[in-house]
Copies of this chain bind each other. A is one copy, B any other.
Amino acid sequence: MVKKIRRIPKVVKKLYRKDFYHEPGTLPGTIIIDENADYPTIYLIDYQPNKFIRKQVETPEECIPYLDTQSVSWVDVQGLGNKDILERLGKVFELHPLVLEDVVNMGERPKVEDYEDQLLIIARMVVPKERICGFYSEQVSFVLGKNYLLTVQEEPEHDCLENVRIRIERGKGIIRKQGADYLAYTLLDAIIDGFFPVLELYGDRLEELEEEVIFKPTRQTLQQIYQIRRELLQLRRAIWPQRDAISTLIRDRSELITEDVRIYLRDCYDHTVQVMDMVETYRELSSGLMDVYLSAVSNKMNEIMKLLTVVSSIFIPLTFVAGIYGMNFNTEKSPYNMPELNWYWGYPICLAVMAAIAAGLLFFFWRRGWLTNSSGIKSD
């Protein structure tokens, strides 16, 4: 019963890859499967201060024995390509139909929702592309229960959570002594910290563009500024609701989150604000760059026009003078008809007059400062 799927428009798709929306009027809670998505792989990590299990399970039901124990169970699902598995997952964790829909539907805005004994957290993870500027973006959904945490990721690649797995395995820090809420915090923190390397790329690129805009603005510069603005717009769309979500977590005092972890979340909130701050700063810088670009283009035009004006203003009068003595008035019919042509010093005088005109004009332009700007290569 897989329904007709329409894709989210392309411009946005770059942020929300593989986003789908329902045919208007479909049942709420309907699960839509993208046929090209990866088959779901389920990883289970179960730990206590002195115990650690990490394994891949085949069916959601295999997780059941772990969920009721005192140990913390982290079930991580990667890939969304099978409807049956996902629905069985929903049953195992007793998910509300809307929770299941949100977890599976990959175009949700980051948010936090409280379902009495479960907390749904939707977050967005970004991972920098290696060569070119840009980033991959992926939705990560958390369902936080009493002793367990279910996370759902779209695909196995581009994951910045591996560090956390290693930390649990090696028992570094206090993570093994804390509950599932601390685990959720740790993962959220890793996701937020993942924005910094992406921002680093944009900072570098803006700095390069700055020099380019001022010293050699080309059409490509323009395209790149626009491109950066568009991508920062997407980053902003990803981080703003994340801040609201974390703020809700801190404020709403759900019983699933202990007071201790709330202090850590405050730290995570600070980082989110810092990311937002940098995104906004970059946006202002890039829109300032657009102004500078426009001014630089106008400046360039001024110099082009100055050159044209200088050349034209000097040679057009000279050509006119030459034109006069190219006229064919019959000097024999009258002494007034271009007697200069027959003067002994006619030609040298004519050349001297021309040189004087040219020198006068050059002096005029030099005094207005046009020559240094328009023809010097240095100032360019």
Contacts and interface: CB of A to CB of B under 8 A. Distances in A.
Interface centre among A7, A24, A173, A229 (most CB of B within 10 A): A24
Given A12-B281, A109-B273, A346-B334, A167 B327 contact: no
A295 B222 contact: yes
Interface string A185-198: 01001110110110
Chain B CB within 10 A, most for which of A111, A229, A336: A336
Contacts of A204: 9-10
B190 A24 contact: yes
Contacts of A186: 25, 28
A204 B9 CA distance: 6
Contacts of A281: 11-12, 233-234, 237
Nearest to A29: B173
B312 A12 contact: no
A317 B298 CA distance: 27
Contacts of A307: 309, 313
Contact of A214 (B115, B190, B223): B223
Contacts of A216: 369
A190 B345 CA distance: 83
> A27, A277, A293, A350: which has the most chain B beta carbons within 10 Å?
A27
Chain A, interface SS category: helix
A186 B98 CA distance: 13
Contacts of A161: 25
Contacts of A202: 9
B295 A301 contact: no
A328 B304 contact: no
A196 to B, nearest CB: 4
Contact of A292 (B102, B226, B270): B226
Contact of A316 (B12, B96, B274, B312): B312
A248 to B, nearest CB: 12
B172 A27 contact: yes
Interface string A286-318: 001111111111111110111111011101111
**3 tightest CB-CB pairs across the interface, nearest first?**
A9-B203, A25-B163, A322-B323
30 contacts: A6-B197, A7-B200, A9-B201, A10-B207, A21-B193, A22-B193, A24-B194, A25-B161, A27-B173, A108-B274, A109-B273, A109-B277, A115-B263, A210-B226, A214-B223, A222-B295, A237-B281, A297-B298, A300-B302, A301-B301, A302-B304, A311-B313, A311-B317, A315-B319, A316-B319, A319-B323, A322-B326, A334-B345, A336-B345, A337-B341
